[in-house]
Amino acid sequence: FQLSFVAMASLIFVLPKWERLLASPDREEKFHAASGLSLLQFWKRFWASMVQTFLASLAAIFGMFPILTWYFNLFSLIGFLANIIVIPMCTAGIALTLVILALDLVFRPLAEWFTFVPLLVFRIEVWLIDLFAKVPSGFVYLPRPSWLFLILYYALLMAWLFASKWIRPRQLRFVFPIAMGIATGMFLWNAFWLRPGFIFFDLGRSQAVFISFSN
């Protein structure tokens, strides 16, 4: 519930800010003025869709990072690439499923013939997810952050999203994301220097070992 809520909030509040930073002023006009669909226009729209998916994935991770680290001690590096490929496939699979459901209302035997199409898309999607999960160094282990880091991270995030509207001059608004970057950098720096420990205890007739991991 926490991950879903924070991810959706990130898409609502964080993603539009990043889109405005990257969007050109005449982008919307060019999009509506374009007639037909040439190869160049198709490539531009395809590239814009990939950028949109990447930004959405980045915004969700941006909001969920402390919670993900707190519960799972993991941070996925390969997830950004995986989302660019998997999310469009998931969208296509859902759209094809809706088509099959509509076709089932009209002519059920034909719908039964074509049920393999969305099923194939979803199976390829699961196979790709499993493939990405096996990429070496695709994710890193991190220690559980302190409560102080969680409070500081989300306080600065909220300040950047909402309080910055009333801050003048505009240059001061970047203080909050810079502070978030510094706090996150300090957390990652401390995590980098944590090393696993392996200690033997001589208990007489037997031995015991204490293993401490960086996470």
d(CA 73, CA 63): 16
d(CA 176, CA 163): 10
d(CA 156, CA 182): 11
Residue recorded with tokens 């909001």:
63
Residues linked to residue 76 through DSSP beta bridges, in sequence order:
139
Q: What is the pLDDT of residue 8?
A: 94
Do residues 173 and 164 make contact, with C-beta atoms less than 8 angstroms apart? Answer: yes
The Cβ-side half-sphere exposure at 121, using a 13 Å CA radius, reads 17
Q: What is the pLDDT of residue 127?
A: 94
Q: What is the pLDDT of residue 188?
A: 85
Do residues 145 and 215 make contact, with C-beta atoms less than 8 angstroms apart? Answer: no
Report the SS3 class of residue 188.
Answer: helix
**pLDDT tens-place string over residues 75-129:** 888 888 888 888 888 989 999 999 999 999 998 888 889 999 999 999 999 999 9
> What's the length of the chain?
215
> Does an H or E element contain 100, and which?
helix 79-106
Parts of the chain with a pLDDT under 50? 28-35
d(CA 38, CA 152): 49
Q: What is the Cα 140 distance to its own chain's centre?
A: 15
Q: What is the pLDDT of residue 35?
A: 47
Q: Integer distance in angstroms from the first to the last C-alpha of the chain?
A: 24
Please state at what angle helix 147-161 crosses helix 175-193, rounded to 10 degrees: 160
